[in-house]
Every structure is written in C-alpha cells, then in structure tokens.
Amino acid sequence: MSRYVFFNSDAQDAKVLTAAKKAVRSRGATVVKSLAGTMLLEATPAQLPQVAQASPGWRYSVERKMTRVPERKPLERSKARGAAAAAAKG
C-alpha cells in the first residue's frame, strides 16, 4: 500500500469532503486523515486510477516524507571555560 495526498481547493465545505471520502472508501482506499480540501489516502497503485476517477476535481500526488534526523554528536566543552568556572567557584 502506498500513501497519496489528494487536493481540492473547492472542497472547503464539509459536505463535499464527506462525499469525496465516501466515494474513495467505496473504491477500497483507506482515508488516513482529512482536512478541508485535503485527504491522505492509503491505496494500492492498482486502485489509484479508480479512486482518482471517483474523485472528480481532486488532484493527487504520492506522499513524500522528507524528514531528516539530525546526527547525534556529543557536545564539546571548552576546557578553558571549565577551568574558569571551577576557579570562580573555588
């Protein structure tokens, strides 16, 4: 299963979005999340043409996750700062 994002700028009305979700579900796709004018769907690539045909006016694209996880590095502490802080306490 792949995830697809469907967009429709004219679907700000809840009734339009509900009708689109019902049509998509009837074609075997799963609605993961939906907001005004946007639906995140899970479907197989074979189901996609049927889902797109059942959703006139909706554009779609493959969901792309571009999250980068930062590299974990230990913090480097300055020896001069540590010595100055120790002298100030003592």
The domains of the chain, with CATH numbers, are 2-62 (3.30.70.260)
d(CA 48, CA 51): 5
CB hemisphere CA count around 85 (13 angstroms) = 6
Predicted TM-score of the model (pTM): 0.65
pLDDT at 9: 83
pLDDT at 68: 60
pLDDT at 86: 60
What average pLDDT values come out for the chain (90 residues) when binned by 10 residues?
88 85 93 90 92 91 72 67 60
Instruction: Give how far Cα 24 sits from Cα of 18, 29, 62, 82, Å.
Output: 10, 6, 16, 62
pLDDT at 89: 64
Phi, psi of 38 (to 5 degrees): -140, 140
d(CA 62, CA 24): 16
